[in-house]
Amino acid sequence: MSSTFAPPEALTKVPFHYCPGCTHGIIHRLVGEAIDRLSIRERTIGVASVGCSVLAYNYFNVDMQQAAHGRAPAVATGIKRVLPDRVVFTYQGDGDLASIGLAELVHAAARGERITVIFVNNANYGMTGGQMAPTTLLGQITTTTPSGRAVKEAGYPLRVVEMLATLEGPVYLARVSVHDPANVIRARRAIIKAFEVQLQDLGFALVEVLSICPTNWGKKPVEALSWLKEHMLPVFPLGEFRAVS
Amino acid sequence: MTHEIIVAGFGGQGVLFTGQLLAYAALAEGREVSFIPSYGPEMRGGTAHCAVVISDEEISSPLVEEPTAALVFNLPSLARFEPRVKPGGLLLLNSSLVHRPVQRNDLLVYRVPASEIAAGLGLDRVANMVMLGAYLALSRAVSPETVRRLLEEKIFARSPQLLEVNRQALEAGERYTGSLALGA
Amino acid sequence: MKVLMKGNEALAEAAVRAGCRCFFGYPITPQTELLEYLARRLPEVGGVFLQAESEVAAINMVYGAAGAGARVLTSSSGPGISLKQEGISYLAAAELPCVIVNIMRGGPGLGGIQPSQADYFQATRGGGHGDYRVIVLAPASVQEMADLAVLAFELADAYRNPVMILGDGILGQMMEPLELPPFKEDLPAREWATDGCRGRARRIINSLYLDAEELERHNLRLQEKYRRIAEREVRWEEYLTGDAQVLVVAFGTCARIARATVKAARSEGIRAGLFRPITLWPYPYRQLQAAAASARAVLVVEMNAGQMVEDVRLALEGRVPVHFYGRTGGMVPASGAVLQELRRIGGVGRVQHVRPA
């Protein structure tokens, strides 16, 4: 019997620890598929961050380093500078990348480091139980914005891709979502591109993936997918913000 | 004999260069040597100084607390280092810029119009070489010949004009104190 | 052949000769020459020099590069070393070899830029979170800035542990003649590096152990390693300690001052000696105890408010009175002042000055 559907080789057989309905699993798979498709598994080094994806090193079947909170782009820089012919990617959430690690991200991008950043934005801190993230929407209830995020106290959500698009260092910047199959296919294409530009030694690449957090949003997975579509897409428009011509 | 030397003046007067040159000359002569520059904001516009120790024995401490000689290029440095010179030690003043009298009477004081001599040679900047020459004529901390050789072979090997004026300045300094010492 | 070099530059050149091809750092006085030297030097030997956006980023680049198998160096001074502490804890936990240079300046806070030894506690007691140790080497001359840089890389590799070189502004800025170490070509293999899993099982560099039992096992293993280091790697120097009745204990620049003082004291008939720890962690506790066997008093001299003096007291276990003389804020102890202290505390141990007939 021939196999028509198999997990990517770039993922281990370890079951994900993610909550039911969480889209981290889909995004892991897309990254794994990209690595398989480009046949780079044996020369890829991944950098896990701190947050829900802290255990990513258990799932990606490649050499992995676990970085301090927010520092994945600096760690990836260190690896890539030592091993310029390897492929280096980071996998970071919104707290890690857009809050505590913003300086490391922006400077890695400005230097045009040849790394690929996978940025998972689910509009809250999932691992610690649903606190406000830099990407939390106005009015969104979290455990640290119990009456909803208010501008006066907590300011506005951060649009990372748009910010990075003001720099010369990045060569590929895209925001995608995984809230329905059509978008998952677009997300896959974007992630492959983000690795391809590294293989072509062109510069820094980042893909922001809008993701759901049913547990901390207090929603059933299907409701969460609709919530993402209704509330996150208007604030975080999808598309390629920087692409190789 | 251990020479503990302070060279002090304004940033830009070649104070650190003078100290380094002494240190390189000592190394060339196979002596023990250490050089500590002042560092930080005082280098920018303010005063700069350095401490050089030259010895035939291993140098315990490179820090110079009581210099055997102080080469003072400006007035603020006189105020700072006059009290520290070892009794009986040498105090060389660039008398073109330092006009105030020395207060201590237990030092060998030499007033060298270094800036004027340098100007006479056509390059104000070489006042430091005049001071160095004056000091070496008195102390023989290193041989002036070693310094001349360094200037020729290392420092100004590619700029004969600078070499010439620096060498003249060194020699003018040597002659100045040499004649004072003889005349005394 | 001896060359005359600044301490910072001698350390940098020695690192290159020790096989270091990778530097990540951030400018701060008084260590900037190290950075500037390597910015020029590393490209000449095909190495990596990167001026990071912060000390935080720099130490995490060190983590990545060390994990990728490089001999890697970073350097800073007090305020920057404070910022690096998070990363140092991770490096120690993940057992990554690297060398960290701290050219100390006066603190706390922004402090000043003049020489100091006030980061002794930070260096020897951790500074970051968790139970870990960093090997700490304290040079006292430009020659040692170079020699200990070579040793630092060797120890870092041998024990897969961060090693810190704890210098001060004087050692960094000072020029002395030195013999540069030879070039090392073959570096030890790194069977743990994450450099791509071609033809082998994948590797993970990590310090996360969510299971308490597993984390305790990890800690016990680290502690076992630290015990091994403490047994084998203690280094120190003694000067005229054999019959010393007053023993001075000092490291780094203070040891140079103390050596001059001991000489001066001897010429006055005070039987003084000097004990200089070269490894500040592991600390030469037993060796100090032995060196102080004949001492009636011990004087610790530091450029801080009294930090290493605690280790001296631990070593001597109350057997000998331990005195302290320190200056802070960038002030350097004068050997005259130290001699004064020696005369005061050494009075009891003063011997009759016998002149030859």
Dihedral sign computed on CA atoms, order C200, C206, C212, C213: positive
What pLDDT is attached to residue C351? 42
Contact flag B23-C257 (C-beta cutoff 8 Å): no
Using the structure block, give the residue that is written with the tokens 């003249």. Answer: B168
User: Cβ(B151)–Cβ(B160) under 8 Å?
Assistant: no
Mean pLDDT of B40-65: 86
How would you write C17-57 as a 3-class SS string? Answer: HCCCCEEEECCCCCCHHHHHHHHHHHHHCCCEEEECCCHHH
Distance from CA of A221 to the nearest CA of C (A): 27
Evaluate if residue A165 carries a pLDDT over 70.
yes
Note whether C228 and C266 are same-domain residues. Answer: no
Distance from CA of A42 to the nearest CA of C (A): 5
Is C321 domain-assigned? yes
Mean pLDDT of A132-140: 98
User: Cβ(A122)–Cβ(A213) under 8 Å?
Assistant: yes
What pLDDT is attached to residue B171? 97
User: Cβ(B6)–Cβ(B23) under 8 Å?
Assistant: no
Evaluate if residue C152 carries a pLDDT over 60.
yes
Is C356 domain-assigned? no
Task: Please tell me if residue C259 touches chain B, with a CB cutoff of 8 Å.
Answer: yes
Residues of B in contact with C257 (CB under 8 A): 61, 63
Least confident of A194-198, A227-231, C124-128, C320-324: C124-128
What pLDDT is attached to residue A1? 66
Q: Quick: pLDDT tens for C174-184.
A: 999 999 999 99
Q: In angstroms, how far apart are the furthest CA atoms of chain B?
A: 45
What pLDDT is attached to residue C212? 97
Q: Which residue ranges form the domains of chain B, and what is each CATH number?
A: 2-183 (3.40.920.10)
Contact flag A75-C63 (C-beta cutoff 8 Å): yes
Note whether C85 and C116 are same-domain residues. Answer: yes
Cα separation, C106 vs B69, in Å, equals 29
Contact flag C176-B33 (C-beta cutoff 8 Å): yes
pLDDT band at C352 (very low <50, low <70, confident <90, very high): very low
* Tokens of residue B141, six digits: 């901390």
Mean pLDDT of B25-43: 88
Kindly state the percentage of chain C with pLDDT values over 70: 97
With 0-12 / 13-18 / 19 or more C-beta atoms within 10 angstroms meaning exposed / middle / buried, residue A218 is exposed
Evaluate if residue A166 carries a pLDDT over 80.
yes
User: Cβ(C235)–Cβ(C275) under 8 Å?
Assistant: no
User: Cβ(A164)–Cβ(A115) under 8 Å?
Assistant: no
Q: Quick: pLDDT tens for C75-106.
A: 999 999 999 999 999 999 999 999 999 999 99
Instruction: List the alpha helices (DSSP H) in B41-81.
Output: 75-81
* Tokens of residue C285, six digits: 């506790």
SS3 C176: strand
| Secondary structure element (H or E) that encloses residue C86, with its range | helix C78-93
* Average pLDDT in chain C: 95
Domain regions of chain A by residue span: 24-242
Number of domains in chain C: 2
**Chains in contact with C via at least 3 Cβ–Cβ pairs below 8 Å:** A, B
Residues of B in contact with C173 (CB under 8 A): 36-37, 39
Distance from CA of A142 to the nearest CA of C (A): 25
What pLDDT is attached to residue B39? 82
User: Cβ(C258)–Cβ(C274) under 8 Å?
Assistant: yes
Q: Quick: pLDDT tens for C290-320.
A: 999 999 999 999 999 999 999 999 999 999 9
**Candidate from C60, C67, C70 with C-beta closest to A71:** C60
pLDDT band at C186 (very low <50, low <70, confident <90, very high): confident
What pLDDT is attached to residue B182? 52
| Secondary structure element (H or E) that encloses residue C175, with its range | strand C175-179
Evaluate if residue B184 carries a pLDDT over 50.
no
In chain C, residues 153-192 whose CB comes closer than 8 Å to chain B: 169-170, 173-177
Most A CBs within 10 A among C24, C60, C203, C218, hence the mutation to make, goes to C60
Evaluate if residue B183 carries a pLDDT over 50.
no
pLDDT band at A136 (very low <50, low <70, confident <90, very high): very high
Under 8 Å CB-to-CB from A13, ≥6 apart: which residues? Answer: A7
In chain A, residues 33-92 whose CB comes closer than 8 Å to chain C: 41-45, 47, 54-55, 57, 61-68, 71, 74-83, 86
**Chains in contact with A via at least 3 Cβ–Cβ pairs below 8 Å:** C
pLDDT band at B179 (very low <50, low <70, confident <90, very high): confident
Mean pLDDT of B17-30: 97
Least confident of A196-210, B169-183, C206-220, C300-314: B169-183
Most B CBs within 10 A among C1, C2, C3, C4, hence the mutation to make, goes to C4
Cα separation, C312 vs C325, in Å, equals 13
pLDDT band at C348 (very low <50, low <70, confident <90, very high): very low
Cα separation, C209 vs B87, in Å, equals 67
Under 8 Å CB-to-CB from C38, ≥6 apart: which residues? Answer: C12, C15, C16, C23, C25, C47, C49, C73
Residues of B in contact with C114 (CB under 8 A): 40
Note whether C210 and C339 are same-domain residues. Answer: no
Note whether C30 and C179 are same-domain residues. Answer: yes
**What do you get for the CA distance between the two ends of chain B, in Å?**
24
Task: Please tell me if residue B54 touches chain C, with a CB cutoff of 8 Å.
Answer: no
Mean pLDDT of B1-18: 94
Evaluate if residue B148 carries a pLDDT over 70.
yes
SS3 A17: coil
Cα separation, C196 vs B13, in Å, equals 56
Residue C247's nearest CA partner among C255, B67, C209 is: C255
Evaluate if residue B85 carries a pLDDT over 90.
yes
Dihedral sign computed on CA atoms, order C9, C11, C15, C17: positive
Residue A94's nearest CA partner among A212, A229, A230, A226 is: A212
Least CA distance to B54: which residue of chain C?
C176
Task: Please tell me if residue C269 touches chain B, with a CB cutoff of 8 Å.
Answer: no
Note whether C11 and C84 are same-domain residues. Answer: yes
What pLDDT is attached to residue A40? 98
| Secondary structure element (H or E) that encloses residue C313, with its range | helix C308-316
Mean pLDDT of A197-221: 97
DSSP annotation of A19: P
Cα separation, C299 vs C337, in Å, equals 12
* Average pLDDT in chain B: 93
In chain B, residues 67-106 whose CB comes closer than 8 Å to chain C: none
Evaluate if residue C356 carries a pLDDT over 60.
no
* One-letter identity of residue A200: Q
- How many CB pairs lie under 8 A apart between chains B and C? 58
**Candidate from C57, C194, C195 with C-beta closest to A103:** C57
pLDDT band at B41 (very low <50, low <70, confident <90, very high): low
Contact flag B62-C256 (C-beta cutoff 8 Å): yes
Cα separation, A66 vs A55, in Å, equals 8
The yes-or-no reply on C/A contact (3 CB pairs or more, < 8 Å) is: yes
Residues of B in contact with C331 (CB under 8 A): none
Q: Quick: pLDDT tens for C209-227.
A: 999 999 999 999 999 999 9
Domain range for C105: 2-186+206-232
* Tokens of residue A149, six digits: 């995020």
Least confident of A191-205, C141-155, C340-354: C340-354
Preceding amide of A8 cis, omega within 30: no
Note whether C123 and C137 are same-domain residues. Answer: yes
| CATH for the A24-242 domain, from 3.40.50.970, 3.10.150.10, 3.40.50.10860, 3.30.450.20 | 3.40.50.970
* Tokens of residue C24, six digits: 């990540």
* Tokens of residue B106, six digits: 């237990």
Least confident of A38-47, A183-192, B173-182, C45-54: B173-182
User: Cβ(B78)–Cβ(B98) under 8 Å?
Assistant: yes
Mean pLDDT of B92-103: 95
Query: What angle, 0 to 180 degrees and rounded to 10, lies between the N-to-C axes of helices C335-346 and C252-267?
Result: 60
Residues of C in contact with B60 (CB under 8 A): 256, 259-260, 263
The yes-or-no reply on A/B contact (3 CB pairs or more, < 8 Å) is: no
Contact flag B35-C332 (C-beta cutoff 8 Å): no
pLDDT band at C346 (very low <50, low <70, confident <90, very high): confident
Is C196 domain-assigned? no
Note whether C161 and C248 are same-domain residues. Answer: no
Contact flag B39-C30 (C-beta cutoff 8 Å): yes
| Secondary structure element (H or E) that encloses residue B111, with its range | strand B108-112
Cα separation, C337 vs C357, in Å, equals 33
What pLDDT is attached to residue A244? 79
Note whether C217 and C100 are same-domain residues. Answer: yes
Residues of A in contact with C58 (CB under 8 A): 74
Note whether C287 and C244 are same-domain residues. Answer: yes
Note whether C213 and C87 are same-domain residues. Answer: yes
With 0-12 / 13-18 / 19 or more C-beta atoms within 10 angstroms meaning exposed / middle / buried, residue B154 is exposed
Cα separation, A211 vs A17, in Å, equals 16
Evaluate if residue B43 carries a pLDDT over 60.
no
pLDDT band at C355 (very low <50, low <70, confident <90, very high): very low
Cα separation, A62 vs A83, in Å, equals 15
More confident residue, A1 or A31: A31
What pLDDT is attached to residue B45? 59
What pLDDT is attached to residue B11? 84
Using the structure block, give the residue that is written with the tokens 């979170």. Answer: C129
Size (chain B), residues:
184
CA distances from B38 to C28, C66, C175 (A): 16, 35, 12
Note whether C30 and C105 are same-domain residues. Answer: yes
With 0-12 / 13-18 / 19 or more C-beta atoms within 10 angstroms meaning exposed / middle / buried, residue B156 is middle
Least CA distance to C262: which residue of chain B?
B60
User: Tell me, what CATH number does C278's domain have?
Assistant: 3.40.50.920
What pLDDT is attached to residue B108? 96
Task: Please tell me if residue A193 touches chain C, with a CB cutoff of 8 Å.
Answer: no
Note whether C63 and C165 are same-domain residues. Answer: yes
With 0-12 / 13-18 / 19 or more C-beta atoms within 10 angstroms meaning exposed / middle / buried, residue A235 is middle
**What do you get for the CA distance between the two ends of chain C, in Å?**
45
Residues of B in contact with C175 (CB under 8 A): 20, 23, 34-36
Contact flag C259-B37 (C-beta cutoff 8 Å): no
Residue at a domain's end among C232, C267, C294: C232
Distance from CA of C329 to the nearest CA of B (A): 15
What pLDDT is attached to residue B27? 97
